[in-house]
């Protein structure tokens, strides 16, 4: 088995990453490709936890949600992450990966409730643990949930999987002169208001000295390269 730099990781997967080029929903080809990347890392013996967002599902309800109470909208978003978690688990099952879904909201007929000790045991058994429903509280993003669960699971690093291969000085889609950061401090990311994670998540990671890597999940082998310690994306640390 190949030696890896990180033994236990938390992968933050946005709901938008599951859409591919679709306007909303889940693209089957994309989710299968993401699962294949996760399977490659799982085969190295790396323990993998996943926090998944729900923007791809909730995006289809945007017009209906205009003017909605923020707390209610956030609870709907949490339910969207449950749907994504179940879809991800099913794709993992088809790929031969054993996974468990744990929810911060109680939906016992569908998924397990979040129990820290049980989640850690699953990781130690080599199962992928998928955390859904964010923190279970409105007004907190799934970025914050990723930082929180990462600390609770004692992971070595949080990996934020996006459509962009790192953090840039400006939007690389609109600015051809945008430069990618290879390394950043949390204080730099916060003070410069860089689009890494929300400020609460960055502060949590900074205070607990939990490193963060932002990379593109759509670059073949990128997740494995990060876990192996190769330069990939942008590394944010104290």
Per the annotation, where are the binding residues for ATP?
12-15, 55, 59, 162, 168, 171
Distance CA 3, CA 44 (A): 8
Helix, strand or coil, per DSSP, at residue 213: strand
Contacts of 109 (CB under 8 A, 6+ apart): none
Per the annotation, where are the binding residues?
12-15, 54-55, 59, 74, 135-142, 162, 168, 171
At 132, phi and psi to the nearest 5? -125, 170
Per the annotation, where are the binding residues for UMP?
54, 74, 135-142
Locate 232 and state its tokens: 């990939």
Beta strands in 5-140 (DSSP E): 8-13, 47-52, 99-103, 112-113, 128-132
Burial class (CB in 10 A: 0-12, 13-18, 19+), 25: middle
DSSP assignment, residue 114? P
């Amino acid at each position: 088995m190949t030696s890896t730099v990180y033994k236990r990781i938390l992968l933050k997967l946005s709901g938008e990453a599951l859409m591919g080029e679709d306007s909303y929903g889940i693209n089957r080809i994309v989710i299968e490709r993401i699962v294949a990347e996760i399977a490659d890392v799982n085969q190295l013996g790396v323990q993998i936890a996943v926090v998944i967002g729900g923007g791809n599902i909730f995006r289809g309800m945007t017009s209906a949600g205009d003017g909605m109470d923020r707390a209610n909208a956030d609870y709907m978003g949490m339910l969207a992450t449950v749907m994504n978690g179940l879809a991800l688990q099913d794709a993992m099952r088809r790929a031969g990966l054993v996974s468990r879904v744990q929810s911060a909201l109680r939906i016992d007929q569908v998924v397990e409730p979040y129990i820290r000790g049980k989640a850690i045991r699953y990781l130690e058994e080599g199962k992928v643990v998928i955390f859904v429903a964010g923190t279970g509280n409105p007004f907190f993003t799934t970025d914050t949930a990723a930082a929180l669960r990462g600390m609770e699971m004692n992971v070595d690093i949080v990996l934020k999987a996006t459509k962009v291969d790192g953090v840039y000085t400006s939007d690389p889609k609109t600015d051809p002169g945008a430069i990618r950061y290879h390394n950043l401090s949390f204080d730099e990311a916060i003070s410069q208001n860089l689009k890494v994670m929300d400020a609460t998540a960055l502060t949590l990671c900074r205070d607990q000295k939990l490193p963060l890597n932002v990379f593109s999940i759509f670059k073949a082998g990128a997740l494995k390269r990060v876990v192996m310690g190769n330069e990939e994306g942008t590394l944010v640390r104290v």
